[in-house]
Amino acid sequence: MKTKLLLLLIAAAMLCGCDPMGNKIAYYTFMNETDKTIVVNLYDQNYYESPAMQIPEDAEPIYSFTIAAGEKFTKILPPAYDRFGKDSILNPFDDIKAGCISVSNGELIIVQSYRGFLCNGASYEITQNTKDATYLQYIFTEEFFNDFGLPVPVYE
């Protein structure tokens, strides 16, 4: 009877996600290696599906950050508790209910759905991995904007 009770308690602890070593804090660092200031905005609507892929002038972002030329911005996310105690981490913006994201350098803008590559942890380089934390980075370069960017719309 004692053995069955012990096994039942162990199974319940595993199902409740009580394995603190299996989940990590995620440090996402965005580095700006361009000579322009970069602005990243997340919106609660999916403007990516609009015909022109333009964000309306009066749209208000729900999350935003700015990275000056040569600087960096780090976003820290808490552990992603799951049932199986895997080495799981949250994607960079999983704590925000967003529809799309825009990245602009003042001349060019990139608009993508929320599940685009900037919102997917697999798009990032892991710079350090410890038992408690994972450090990831994404580097913005001129090629990033030249390959994917569209001219910033001018509203009249």
What tokens were used for 131?
């038992």
pLDDT for 75-126, tens place per residue? 999 887 765 455 678 889 888 888 889 999 999 988 888 777 787 777 899 9
pLDDT for 1-40, tens place per residue? 544 444 444 444 444 444 343 478 999 999 999 999 999 9
Average pLDDT over residues 33-62: 84
The domain locations on the chain are 20-151
Closest to 48 in 3D by CA, of 121, 122, 119: 119
Put simply, whether the predicted model's pTM sits higher than 0.85 gets the answer: no
Sheet with 133-140: list strands edge to edge: 72-77, 25-32, 133-140, 125-129
Q: What's the confidence (pLDDT) of residue 137?
A: 96
Q: Strands 100-104 and 108-113: what pairing?
A: antiparallel
Written as one string, the DSSP assignment of 67-90 is: E-TT-EEEEEE-----SS--SB--
Phi and psi angles of residue 22, each rounded to the nearest 5 degrees, phi first: -90, 0
> In the chain, what are the helix, strand and coil shares in percent, each to the nearest 5?
20, 35, 45
Bridge partners, residue 22, by sequence? none
- 26-35, 47-56, 132-141: which has the minimum mean pLDDT? 47-56
Provide the greatest CA pair distance for the chain: 78
Phi and psi angles of residue 48, each rounded to the nearest 5 degrees, phi first: -60, -30
Helix (H, G, I), strand (E, B) or coil at 95: coil
* Dihedral (Cα; 82, 92, 119, 30), 10-degree rounding: -150
